[in-house]
Amino acid sequence: MRKQIIILAMILAALIALLLVVLGVRRLTGPKYPELKFDPAKVTGISITSPKSGMTLLKEKDGWKVRDNTSGKIYTADPGAAASVIENISRMSVTDIVSNNPARHAEFQVEESSGIKVEIKIKGKKDISFILGKESYDYGHYYFRFAGTAQVRLASGMRKASIDRPVDSWRDTRILRLDRGGVTRMEVNYPGNPKKDIVLALAPGTTGQWLAENVLDGAGQTGGKPKKADFDEVVKPLLYIITDFMHNGFAPAERKWGKTLFTVTVTAKEGVFKFMVGDKMVENRQLYYFGKKENEDTIYKIIDYKIENIRRERSDIK
């Protein structure tokens, strides 16, 4: 009997030792969580669909595009927004299991009809697809489910509002993006009032000397000798805005182009670009102008001070 007690005690001690080893390993390594990791540089597309809207970012040779999944229209995407959302998703942390019960998917808003479905296409890798649900009880996580699985987990590292956005918020915020040092000519023309027109040209062989070419002669006619244009007062406001020209939103889809107040034509190493400025509008007590590029349908809203800075006239040349 005594011998049996000793053997049992040894077995119990061995089991306790084994348990301590297992617990120690778990403490060092932690529980194994599914990874949501990929190389952002290899992402070729990302689709985000919510009950509010749906869009797809597409990586093409000339940069990122965004497609409105409802209308099918494709626009130039904001490259910063595309890079940021992909980077943020790659850093998300998926942790604890909340439920394995599909009947609770509606409760956590991880159904495709209630959550935000994200589908990521990665060059040379299997696509990743998941659904982001509502905020968890601690407000520091969201409920998360890989598409095609029942398991609901917690996820952190990204705010839902950063991806649940209207299509227009993914579009490029710049109307023109030009190399400032490559601009050689800028014209501002006033339809119906050519006496206000101004032509500014970079003087040959210089890097910062600009001339006004269509100045008036002594008889008040165009064709006078070119005059030096003051860089800070005349050239700089137009040059600096037009080469990094950002809009402040888009006109309503039903908006039609009206009267053109003036046009700006820029000759740069990237080509010749013409921009048209039209009617005004007031929104939330802020004055905007409508504007559009020649031969394009998109109508932008542009805050008033930007327009006033590119509204150069012949009378600015003293």
Using CA atoms, how far residue 55 sits from 49, 75, 269, in Å, is 6, 11, 33
> Can you give the pTM of this predicted structure?
0.74
Half-sphere exposure of 8 (CA within 13 A, CB side): 5
pLDDT digits (tens), the chain, 318 positions = 566 666 655 666 566 655 544 444 343 344 555 667 888 899 999 999 998 889 999 999 989 999 999 889 999 999 899 999 999 898 889 988 999 999 999 999 999 999 999 999 999 889 999 999 999 988 889 999 999 999 999 999 888 888 888 999 999 999 999 999 999 999 999 998 888 888 999 988 777 789 888 765 544 555 567 888 889 988 999 999 999 999 999 998 788 999 999 999 999 999 999 999 999 999 999 999 999 999 888 999 999 999 999 998 888 876
Phi-psi region of 181 (alpha: psi -120 to 50; beta: other; left: phi over 0): alpha
CB neighbour list of residue 132: distance below 8 Å, 6 or more residues apart: 110, 115, 116, 118, 142, 143, 144, 155, 160, 163
